Structures are given as C-alpha cells and as structure tokens.
Amino acid sequence: MPGQIHEVTNQVPELYGNNLFLDDTILQAGVKRLHGQWHAGQLARYGAELGSKETWQLAELANRHQPELNTFDRLGNRIDVVDFHPAWHALLGLLRREGLHALPWIKPQSGSHVARAAGYFLHAQVEAGSLCPTTMTFASIPVLQQEPALFAALQAKLLSCEHDSRDLPLDHKNSILIGMGMTEKQGGSDVRSNTTAATPLAGGSGRGAGYLLTGHKWFFSAPMCDAHMMLARTEMGLSCFFVPRWRPDGSKNPVQIQRLKNKLGNRSNSSSEVEFRNAFGIMVGDEGRGIPTIIEMANHTRLDCVIGAAGLMRQALVQALHHARHRSAFGRLLAEQPLMQNVLSDLALESEAATLLMLQLASAFEQADDPLQRAWRRIVTPAAKFWICKRALEFTGECMEVWGGNGYVEAAPMARFYREAPVNSIWEGSGNVMCLDVLRAIEREPAGFGLLLEQLAEVAHDHPGLRSMLDDLLKDLATPPEQREMLGRRFVQRLVLTVQGALMLQHAPAAIAEAFIASRSEAMGGRVYGTLAAVHLQQQILQRTWAQ
C-alpha cells in the first residue's frame, strides 16, 4: 500500500483449523481407558468443528455483543426478556446437538459421563459462557427425576437435542433449559439465611404441590432459562422449588428481572437480580429438606466447574505453545529458549494432571453404588473444584505472559480466557466453602475416605515421593479437630496433589509422572511455573502435550 513504512514480520498466525480432540493424546487415552471410546468419533468431529475459524468467530461475537435486558415492550407491558446475539444461540445449538446437557440420560451406557465430560472440556476451550445454562440443565435432571409426575412432563423436552430459543410456556417448547437461583443479598454462600417465602396454594402442600413465592435472588443465573431450581422458606424450613418462566395457565410468571450483572468475565451469559411477586413454583423433594435436595444438583455443577477450568487451562496452554513456536526473540524462537521451555513444560504437567483428574471424577459419577467412587464424588469433587479452579487463575495469567503485550489486548483470546478463569472458583461456593465441605464430607463418610486412602497408598507403595506426600496428608488429618478448619486449605491442597500424583503415576510415562510429583512436593518449587528440575524431559513433555 502507498505510504507503508514497514513490513509486518514475526507476528504469530491465528490458530484455526486444528482438531481439539485429535490433538489431545491425553484426553483421547483417558476417554478410551474409562469406557467412552464409543463416542470418540463424535468427539473427533466436534473437535474439528470447535477448532474452525467459524466457531471461534461465534465465540468472539457472543462475548462482544453482550445480553441486553428489555424490561418492557414498546407499549409498556412488563416482559422481562433478555436478548442475545445470534452467535449465542448458535453456540447453544452446538451444545444441545452434542447432547452435552444430558448425554448420560440420552445414551445411558458405560462411559457416558466420561464421553460427556470430554465434549464439555472441548467446548470450554472455545466459549465458556454458553456452558452455564447447559451445566444447570444437566445438573437438574437427577433432582427432577425424584418427582416422577413432574419429570414425566419434562423428560422429552429436557433430553431433546434441539435448541429452542423461543420464550413460551413449557407446553409449547420443543426443548427447555433449567437455571438456578440460590443466593440472596444478605447471605451469599450462606443459603440458610435466605428469606424468600413460599406459601402453599389451595389444594395441598409438600412435594409436588404448587406454591406462591415472594422474595428475591441476588444471583439468578441465566434468567431466560425456561425454569429455575431455587430455595424458598416454608413453615418447615428451606425447601427446593421448580419455578417456570410461565405459569401453567399460560400467563407470565411474575419473576421480575431487576437488572443484569455487569460481570468481569462470562460476558456472553446473562446473570441477573430478580424479585418474586407471588411467583408460581412446584416443590421438589421433601419440605424443609431443600438444601439436601439441591446439593445433588450442586455436586454436578461442581464437577462441571472442574471440567470447565481444566478445558480453559488446556486451550490457554495450546495458545501459549502455538505462540512460542512462531514468535522469535533475541535471535531464536521462544520455544527454543531453555527458560521458556521450563515454563511451558511445567504448564503442560499442570494441564495433564487436571485433565486426568476431571476424567476420573466424571467416571466416578457413573458408579453410584460403589463406596470408593462415592468418596471420589463426595470428597474429591469439592477438593478438585477448589484446586483446579484456583490453578486456572494463575495458569491463564502465565500463558498470557508468554504472549506478552499481544496477550493483554482484547483482540486476542488470551484476555477472554483470563477474565473467564475466576468464575469457576466463585460459582456455587468459593475456595473456603469447598475446603470446609471436604472436611465435612470426610467426617460424615469416614469409611469411604478410608477406601480412598487405601487406594492412594496402594499406588504410592513403590514410590517414595508420593508416599511422602501421603504421609504429610495423614499428619494433617491427625490435627486436633479445633485446629483442622484453620488448616483446611493446606489439607485440601495436599489431598488434590496426592490424588493427581497417583493418577500421573498410573497413566503418564514414569519419568513425566516423577517430574510432576517431585515439583509439586518440593518446598522450594513454590507455586511459580517454570521451576522444574528435570530439564532433560522438557522436549518429551511438550511433544506429548501438543505435537503441532
């Protein structure tokens, strides 16, 4: 062009056209090992679609054009409608088509939870906001199944693989999405302080009966979902309710959206503040047992927080590797420089351990009657949510640093990844809440925890490093009860690292597993990436991670 004063060189090309599943040997091996191989062909097809330029553009558009609240129509009628860019609905259409909202119930066979987790992990690498209503719909199914009459009316619409964006009564929808409304202004994670009141309608009370709800929710996730699961207070205490957007008579349920949250990240998805003005709801579960009823839903959402954070880490790593293999500084490629290799290798170990853990947890959700797998679900899931989501924050920041200033601008995906990372730590209970839940679960299920420790001891038997980590964990466990809460984070961190070390020993090459355990148990290593002592393994680690 006339007036051009320089040639553009040493800039990294956009990463399009790769297959997110076929490029990930660790994910592929885990899916096969944990009985999800029957879904591998579909995952490969979806991995290619997610890696396409077109899908990345959908993600960018959905986050640039954020949801908009329309409280009234032009005539002054109250409508409480949130409008989305078409890219948002296109992304939800992909998720729905892949069955990521309900795959274990659509295809109930061995490995179905693992297959679904792998698909969710892939989608999380491209766009995370659209996963929120998908997760809540997925998590609602085990709870709604406890109410046979209600579930019978909803089952076909819950399991449908079609996305129906229309704002209509349930009877007129081809498919539905379910959201959640848990926290109130005064309580946050302390849902026992909720004040929203539920009054029974004429004709009965208790589970399956209709109620009128009055109150508010401070975080009402995805307000355009067709119904929400939430807590409200009856005379017998907090109970769980299914609250649709439309009443059974076809009129709009008075769930009034006060405003949308202006969030740091997760911008494609809408979160809101709402008020209930005699809104209709159906009680799910026993009256006064709302928290135990909805905790089943929370356990599934916690798993998805782990999967989503691990997916975010994986894509941030891939983007960092891609950048380092194309960008030169001081006379050679970044990927050829020893200190950068150490950083990237350390990140690769972290990502692999996170991937192994999320797949193992997904597999545990399939084995409802196995006491050991119940311990994985009940004890390791909140521990993993605490640790993996925490690590994702540092991890995405480190990957952004690999990009330098180019990673700090919104034109590239790294800034979006970094803004996205905190939400999984905060959603459904932040770090302290998860650690306290781990301690409670151990106290309530000591036999299951004993089985978990036996499993870890068996793996650690011939490995001094892992055995030392397990010994330190047991010492923390022997802390007097009055001191245990204060040490909750220390204990949970050790638990997760011991579990990850065991998984690495079982499923990674021995030298790579050894490098992970040594670096995570070494006090001088701290939490800074790039402190690996096993420098001779860096090329092997990076080639295993992403051989592009």
Beta bridge partners of 179: 228
Residues 201 and 107 in one domain: no
Domain C-terminal end among 93, 124, 159: 159
Q: Name the token pair of 304.
A: 């998805």
Cα–Cα distance measured from residue 21 to residue 40, given in angstroms and rounded to the nearest whole number: 9
Are 205 and 343 found together in one domain?
A: no
Q: Kindly provide the residue ranges of all beta strands, DSSP E only, lying in 387-430, ordered along the sequence.
A: none
Determine the pLDDT at residue 208.
94
Whether 423 is in a domain gets the answer: yes
Kindly state whether residues 394 and 260 are assigned to the same domain.
Answer: no
Torsion of CA 57, 60, 65, 68, to 10 degrees: 110
Tell me which of 290, 307, 339 is where a domain ends. Answer: 290
Q: How far is CA 336 from CA 116, 305, 317, 342, 472, in A?
A: 37, 34, 16, 10, 38
149 assigned to some structural domain: yes
Which of 265, 290, 315 terminates a domain? The answer is: 290
**Dihedral of CA 115/120/121/126: which sign?**
positive
In a domain, 165, yes or no: no
Tell me if 19 is assigned to some domain. no
DSSP string, 325-392: TT-EETTEEGGGSHHHHHHHHHHHHHHHHHHHHHHHHHHHTT-TT-HHHHHIIIIIHHHHHHHHHHHH
CB-based contacts of 110: which residues, under 8 Å, 6+ apart? 35, 366
8 in any annotated domain: no
Amino acid at 325: R
Burial class (CB in 10 A: 0-12, 13-18, 19+), 186: exposed
Rounded distance between C-alpha atoms, residue 441 and residue 363, angstroms: 19
Residue 213, domain CATH: 2.40.110.20
Mean pLDDT by 10 residues, the chain (548 residues): 84 96 98 98 98 98 97 95 98 98 97 98 98 97 96 98 97 97 88 93 91 96 96 96 97 97 95 97 96 89 97 98 96 95 96 98 93 96 97 97 96 95 91 94 95 97 94 91 88 96 97 94 69 82 84
Residue 1: the pLDDT is 59
349 and 474, same structural domain?
yes
180: left (phi over 0), alpha (psi -120 to 50) or beta: beta
Domain assignment present for residue 1? The answer is no
Same domain, 217 and 356: no
Q: Are residues 340 and 489 in the same domain?
A: yes
Q: 104: how many CB neighbours lie within 10 A of its CB?
A: 21
Number of domains in the chain: 3
User: Can you give the C-alpha Rg of the chain in angstroms?
Assistant: 24
Q: Are residues 407 and 395 in the same domain?
A: yes
The H or E element containing residue 110 is none
326 and 343 inside one domain: yes
Residues 174 and 155 reside in one and the same domain: no
Q: Do 240 and 329 belong together in one domain? A: no
Residue 145 shares a structural domain with residue 270: no
- The whole-number pLDDT of residue 187 equals 83
Q: Are residues 258 and 346 in the same domain?
A: no
Write out the residue range of the structural domain in which residue 46 sits. 25-67+84-159
Say if 164 falls within a structural domain.
no
What CATH number does residue 437 fall under? 1.20.140.10
Domain annotation covers residue 312: yes
